[in-house]
Amino acid sequence: MAQVTPEKAQDPEYGDGVTSLVEYVKDYRAGGHRIDTVIESVCAGCGGRVFEIGVDDEVGCAERLCVACDDSVLIADSADHWSEAEPAQCECPCGGSEFAIAVGFAPVADGSDDVRWVSIGLRCVRDGMSGVYADWKIDYSPSGHLRDMA
């Protein structure tokens, strides 16, 4: 399956809204793994769907900050690694730093509840550009609960 190229990703006309972000994350196949679940991040505090986000792609973690209510949440198992992280704030090439977030989960095997890989897809609310800004491996079990931690 062809991967979506960065050139295509930088086309502001690419897709429409969060549906296109979900498709983007699936097509990107971070780590080369088929994704079975993509969950949009929604703030538990206020229902907001726009975030600033810091990621460390080396350590493999991400923290989102709701722009409406300032509530911050560590995505998936990020809390396990946050103490070692040096997070950088995500910024779209247009300079925007507010995003819709869709978190992709790839299973260990088809039909498996355990998660092999997590990827963080962001869609800039200013110009609509989608990208996968961080992805990391999960190497423990059970890990199916991570799907509830977008």
**Residues forming the site for Zn ion (CB under 5 A):** 43, 45-46, 48, 66, 68-69, 71, 92, 94, 96, 124, 126-127, 129
* Per-state percent for the chain, helix, strand, coil, to nearest 5: 20, 30, 50
Query: Nearer to Zn ion by C-beta: 10 or 37?
Result: 10
Q: Residue 131 belongs to what H/E stretch?
A: strand 130-137
Least Cβ distance, residue 44 to Zn ion (angstroms): 8
Least Cβ distance, residue 96 to Zn ion (angstroms): 4
Phi, psi of 30 (to 5 degrees): -55, 135
Query: Nearer to Zn ion by C-beta: 43 or 120?
Result: 43
Query: Nearer to Zn ion by C-beta: 69 or 88?
Result: 69
Phi, psi of 56 (to 5 degrees): -125, 105
